[in-house]
Structure 1
Amino acid sequence: MDAPFPQPKPRLATQPEHFLAVGSNAPVDWIIHDGLMPYPQALDWMERRVEAIARGDASEAVLLVEHPPLYTAGTSAQPGDLLQPDRFPVFAAGRGGEYTYHGPGQRVAYVLLDLKRRRPDIRAFVSALEHWVIETLAQYQVRGERREDRVGVWVRRPEKAPLPDGTPAEDKIAAIGIRLRRWVTFHGISLNVDPDLSHFSGIVPCGISGHGVTSLVDLGLPVSMPEVDSVMRAGFEQVFGPTEARSFEAA
């Protein structure tokens, strides 16, 4: 269950894609970590929380963080896609997918949900994550789209030159990579709010060459992280159900 999954055909989110818990209104813990969280700390927290959720000892949770600059390698990462191995620390993530970058200005949302309580359907879960991101972008009048052959959420860039084969230019604004254990999800999504986009040049992001990366600020939207967090929370609740704010220390 650690491989990247096929994506639905490209389309805008024009109708809700609910992924609600069956027979339960228990809120999902919504946890925002202040400051930069070391990646090993995030991994350790997820490992412990996943086991607790699977045992029935903890609530489902979403942990929102920013990391210091680093690269992570998914289970499908190819060594040749790490172009600058000494630029930033590199971590084996254990999630599906290939190389990606995390750093300040990027909102990473680790999504820990029990699919046995919701729907034991990995493809539908990934689709719901995409829908969440696309709806978040739509609040800023940004048209995010899925691509059948490329994981993540993409933005068309008509002002840029097309690719050599004539393909219109598109930039990636959000990445998705998940893992499951006992039907509990972990890892999740990363949305580029205002990261240093030059930091992506040390890798082939998600193994996809030819297309670029972008962010909300790069698209001309000077939004703050707290504002994005609020929009993301509202969008999450539409797709996955109610949340309850918790501090990281209490979680």
Structure 2
Amino acid sequence: MISTLISDTPIEWRVSRETIPYPDAVSEMEARAASIARGEAREQIWLLEHPPLYSAGTSAKPSDLVDPARFDVFSSGRGGQYTYHGPGQRVAYAMLDLRLRGRDVSAFVRGLEQWIIDTLAALDVVAERKTGRVGVWVTHDDGREEKIAAIGVRLKKWISFHGIAINVAPDLSHFSGIVPCGISEHGVTSLSALGKTTDMAIVDKALRQSFEAIFGPTVNAKL
């Protein structure tokens, strides 16, 4: 059950207002995850935006990188295939201790999915899981299905890092340089494309409230 993901110890909630280079973020995540594993640091959720880039997960196929010269391309230790990150996309990196949450990877991933779904519901968007597909999706009135959020995580010593990305108001044309998550038969969308809020502060508030309902209380990070 997702309820087993809740921990009573407050989780740090960190928000970066400036764009963070991808290698810097990965380095910080890895260091924080190691500190959590050693019992030296709190768990942390880190909200940020990246400059435009493509990230390759452990299952990425070279043929899915359609335009390798378009943006910087980074190999990533997270699960999944190619994804895009850039301005207007809310990335939430989750450095959480699954030793406190039943060591259940499937339940953890379902929890991340539910976090996105509940956040989008608070923003007046109906989103859902799709069997056999990674991420969170919306279905249009004409039956078209488009991806609005991605999930890609890695575990080391039962500590998670990497996380989720919700398309708030990115340039959707930037996704054309890859086959997002290896899925070519469906497109991508965003809150902006759906005519919903693009105020990142409102999105962040919804993210925090939905997160706490699934994973437990948070406390502002001291930076």
* TM-score band, normalised by shorter chain: over 0.9
Deviation at 1:53, TM superposition (A): 0.2
Q: Distance in 2 between matches of 1:175 and 1:111?
A: 13
Q: Using the aligned pairs only, state the percent identity.
A: 56
Unaligned runs of 5+ in 2: none
TM-score where L is the length of structure 2:
0.97
TM-score where L is the length of structure 1:
0.87
Q: Which has the larger radius of gyration?
A: 1
Q: Distance in 2 between matches of 1:145 and 1:192?
A: 15
Question: Partner of 1:236 in structure 2?
Answer: 211
Q: Distance in 1 between matches of 2:162 and 2:210?
A: 18
Within 5 Å, which residues of 2 pair with 1:41-190? 41-159=24-142, 168-190=143-165
Q: Distance in 2 between matches of 1:60 and 1:119?
A: 16
Mean alpha-carbon deviation: is it higher for 136-145 or for 192-201? 136-145
Amino acid at match of 1:17: I
Amino acid at match of 1:59: R
Question: Partner of 2:2 in structure 1?
Answer: 17
Question: Partner of 2:184 in structure 1?
Answer: 209
Q: Distance in 1 between matches of 2:49 and 2:198?
A: 16
Deviation at 1:34, TM superposition (A): 1.1
Q: Distance in 2 between matches of 1:158 and 1:108?
A: 28
Within 5 Å, which residues of 2 pair with 1:25-44? 25-44=8-27
Q: Distance in 2 between matches of 1:35 and 1:185?
A: 24
Question: Partner of 1:10 in structure 2?
Answer: none
CA contact (8 A) 2:35 2:41 kept: yes
Deviation at 1:140, TM superposition (A): 1.9
Amino acid at match of 2:127: G
Runs of 4+ in 1 over 4 A off after TM superposition: none
Deviation at 1:158, TM superposition (A): 2.4
Does the residue aligned with 1:76 lie in a helix, a strand or coil?
Answer: coil
Unaligned runs of 5+ in 1: 1-15, 160-167
Q: Distance in 2 between matches of 1:222 and 1:229?
A: 12
Deviation at 1:169, TM superposition (A): 1.4
Task: Count residues in correspondence.
Answer: 222
Question: Partner of 2:198 in structure 1?
Answer: 223
Does the residue aligned with 1:116 lie in a helix, a strand or coil?
Answer: helix
Amino acid at match of 1:230: K
| More helix per residue | 2
Amino acid at match of 1:20: I
Deviation at 1:119, TM superposition (A): 1.6
The alignment's C-alpha RMSD in Å is: 1.0
Deviation at 1:223, TM superposition (A): 2.8
Does the residue aligned with 1:126 lie in a helix, a strand or coil?
Answer: helix
Q: Distance in 1 between matches of 2:6 and 2:102?
A: 8
